[in-house]
Every structure is written in C-alpha cells, then in structure tokens.
Amino acid sequence: MQNIFAETLTFTSIVAILIAIIKGVSLIKKPKIEKQILADEQKIILHVTQFVILTLFCSVFVLSILEQYTGDKISNYKNDSNAMLQILSSGLMLGFLVAYIIYLIYTLAIMNSKKHYINHLKYGKIYIIKSLDSERILLSNFDYETEGRFQLILKKDDVFEYKILRDGKKHLKKRKKTTENKNK
C-alpha cells in the first residue's frame, strides 16, 4: 500500500514540475512588453524557470571547468554510483551559486530599468503597473508630489491601441488588431 502511495506521489510531483516548466518556457517566449505586464504568479513562474535553466547551464559549465582543472574525467566514475552522485551534486551546488550571483545582478538591472507608459488622450502620461487578469491592466500616473495621484484600470486592447513607450527610449510596440481578433 505504501509503495503505491509513493509511486503516485512521485508521478504527481513529476507531472506538476513538467507543467510548471512548460508554463515557464511559454512565458519566456513572450515579447518584452507582455512580460512587463504579467500577473504576479506568472512573474514568479517566469523567474523560477529562468533561474532553473541558468542553474543547469552553469552546472554543466562548472563541471566542465572542474574536469579540465583536475584532469579527472567524470566518465571514469560511471561504475561508482556514489562518486558520480557526489560529483553531480557538487556541480549542481556550485552551478546554483554561480547562477544565483548572475541572476541577482540580472534582477537588480531589471528592477532599475525604466518603466513603460502610454500617452493616453484623456489622462496624459500613465505608467503600466501590472496585469490584473487576462483582460485588464492596472495603470498609474506615479505623481507622488501632488494630491492628483490616481490609478486606472483599462482593458488590454485599449492599452495596446497606444504606442507603448519607455522612459528614455523609442516606442517598443504598437499592437495591431487584425480582422481575426475583431471577429472573435
């Protein structure tokens, strides 16, 4: 009975991890502006997926450097499973540390980057804060110095009718509506 429970739990966890990785990879492929307005849960999945991919890449890189530095090939230990497990876990831990440092610098650069905004006809310059759901976006004017600070919720289609601008850069994208989207 315990064996069936353990197998079911293992199968369920593997399926959940695969679904999370697939969601993360689909979020990685989104354009930059759509990544900016993702919901918080989607941003977490995106960052975790990016970090896992970076960790695996760094682990392979660290293992190849260790192999060249020590002159000892990993394939020499294929018969000794304990030694192979120790080498791979050491590579993963060192890869994790390298990936953590790289990703920490990367996320600090993202957090300090300029914000996206639109020049709305009625409200003027309003910044895109985040996506509330699949249809609505939260915007704000970030006017902290006056009493006129406001937040606004608009439909995504209405926001994408304007040019999405970024402080100090040219426009990123103006989403074009196709006849297929209008018919849906």
Q: Which amino acid makes up residue 174? A: K
Residue 24 to residues 2, 16, 99, 101: CA-CA distances in angstroms?
33, 12, 17, 21
Say what the pLDDT of residue 181 is.
Answer: 47
pTM of the model: 0.56
- Parts of the chain with a pLDDT under 70: 1-2, 5-7, 9, 32-33, 36-37, 108-114, 143-148, 168-184
Strand partners, 120: 124
Say what the pLDDT of residue 180 is.
Answer: 43
Say what the pLDDT of residue 48 is.
Answer: 83
* CB neighbour class for 154 (10 Å; exposed up to 12, middle 13-18, buried from 19): buried
Say what the pLDDT of residue 182 is.
Answer: 45
Say what the pLDDT of residue 104 is.
Answer: 81
Tally the residues of the chain. Answer: 184
